[in-house]
Amino acid sequence: MDLAFLHPLYEHPGPWASVYVDLSRHAENTPHERELTADAVARELASQGADDATCRAVRQAVDELRHSTDQHGRALFACAGRVVLDPPLARPPQGGTSAHWAPLPHVAPLLELAGEDPVCVVAYIDRKGADFELRSALGSQDAGGVSGRQWPVHRTSSVDWSERHFQLRVENTWEHNAAEIADALAVCQEETRADLLILVGDDRERRSVHERLPRRLQDRVVEASHGAGSRLLDDDVERLRDDHVRARAREDLDRFLAARAPDDEGRAAAVEGVPALIEAAREHRIDELLIIPDGPDTHREVWIGEDADQVAVRRTELKTLGEQNSWSARADDALLRSAVMTGAPAISVTAALPREAEGDAPVGGLGALLRWR
């Protein structure tokens, strides 16, 4: 997950209100229920020590979602009486709406609630062209399309020479249109930065387009087993998106496992556990942060200063480093702040992994691939 969009959260001093709002329920009395939720969130933040201005800002922001048609939820991050960031969620928060008040914004849940959402382009292909649809967990939208040659596109059953000549022209039309569709789909992927391309159509049409896509896109392309008119197509698309997430998670974990093994000089390109990660964060050496949500080390107490690299296992360490002000924070949120400010992405490695692979994940729930000095 690219964390660059979280930069605004670390441009302001805390403490922070972090609220994950469940918007998945839609019924006749939903607006009233959400109004009650807004009041409950404000009371919960106040009970944790939040200032009145921030409680009011959060209450108003949640209340404004009363009539939202969002199918999943929204995260709200507020401080000093203002909501600074409110990203949508790709899936509802487990356990319903929650609120946190802490020195750092509690962004770790975003790795699962907003991060594992591959954007895909569904290409509905026929012999005359294709229509493109952009899909994510937030919905779908038209993404354009392409029209190829419209004639001739149908074969005949005759064996007459002239008819065989006509059939050759049909073949040429198919091949020309497949090349145009592949070119347009490659442009669409580049413009939308889609993670996955799903081809829908007859076997031959899908295969012809698939073969003509650039090599750089081949590992992003899959073919749906059901056609555009099938009621099973939506389930097919969601299954392909889930398969893509699991494959990417497995690749990320395999890279971590390979990097964890020492080289000939006894150096490892990956570390795990809070002390090693804290040292890497102080030295700006985290290249990619790996997190198991709710792993035993994620909520371990660490100490932070005002800057992202001012982080320590013990409070006395910060004083030794010359930092006079320090606050207690969760380990995952402290390390995520460091990752954001140094441009490192973060991954929820077990969000989509099969249970048998969880033993390969970082011990304690936190690990990182390192940059060399």
- Give yes or no for a cis peptide into 88 (omega within 30° of 0): no
Q: Is the pLDDT of residue 358 over 60?
A: no
Taking only Cα atoms into account, the Rg of the chain, rounded to an integer number of angstroms, comes to 25
Segment among 52-61, 95-104, 156-165 with least mean pLDDT:
156-165
Q: Enumerate the β-bridge partners of residue 281.
A: none
Mean pLDDT calculated for residue range 345-367:
66
CA atoms of 336 and 107, how far apart (whole Å) = 8
The more confident residue out of 295 and 154 is 295
SS3 sequence, the chain?
Answer: CCCHHHHHHHCCCCCEEEEEEECCCCCCCHHHHHHHHHHHHHHHHHHCCCCHHHHHHHHHHHHCCCCCCCCCEEEEEEECCEEEECCEECCCCCCCCEEEEECCCCCCCHHHHCCCCCCEEEEEEECCEEEEEEEECCEEEEEEEEECCCCCCCCCCCCCHHHHHHHHHHHHHHHHHHHHHHHHHHHHHHHHCCCEEEEECCHHHHHHHHHHCCHHHHHHEEECCCCCCCCCHHHHHHHHHHHHHHHHHHHHHHHHHHHHCCCCCCCCCEEECHHHHHHHHHCCCEEEEEECCCCCCCCCEEEECCCCCCEECCHHHHHHCCCCCCEEEEHHHHHHHHHHHCCCCEEECCCCCCHHHHHHCCHHHEEEEECCC
Q: What is the rounded average pLDDT of the residues 249-261?
A: 84
pTM of the model: 0.78
Burial class (CB in 10 A: 0-12, 13-18, 19+), 150: exposed
* pLDDT reading at 203 higher than 50: yes
Contact between 87 and 70 under an 8 Å Cβ cutoff? The reply is no
* pLDDT class of 169 with cuts at 50, 70, 90: low
Residue 165, pLDDT > 50, answer no
Looking at residues 181-198, what average pLDDT do you find? 93
* pLDDT average, residue stretch 125-138: 85
Distance between CA atoms of 61 and 57, rounded to whole angstroms? 6
Contacts of 83 (CB under 8 A, 6+ apart): 57, 58, 61, 76, 77
Residue 238 and residue 253: Cα distance in Å, rounded? 23
From its phi and psi, is residue 230 left (phi > 0), alpha (psi between -120 and 50) or beta?
A: beta
In the numeric block, which tokens belong to residue 353? 């992994």
β partners of residue 327: 304
Task: Out of 144-158, 204-218, 261-275, 337-351, give the one with best mean pLDDT.
Answer: 204-218
Q: Which residue has the higher pLDDT, 227 or 350?
A: 227
Q: Give the tokens for residue 369.
A: 């691939």
**pLDDT attached to residue 320:** 81
Find which of 35-49, 319-333, 341-355 is predicted with most confidence, using mean pLDDT: 35-49
Q: Lowest-confidence range among 8-12, 148-152, 203-207, 219-223?
A: 148-152
User: 10 Å Cβ neighbour count for 186?
Assistant: 16
44-81 pLDDT per residue, tens:
999 999 999 999 999 999 999 999 988 899 999 999 99
Cis peptide bond prior to 15, omega within 30° of 0: yes
For the cut 60, the answer to whether the pLDDT of residue 162 exceeds it is no
Query: Residues 6 or more apart from 130 whose CB is under 8 A from it?
Result: 123, 124, 145, 146, 181, 184, 185, 201, 209
Provide the pLDDT for residue 166: 40
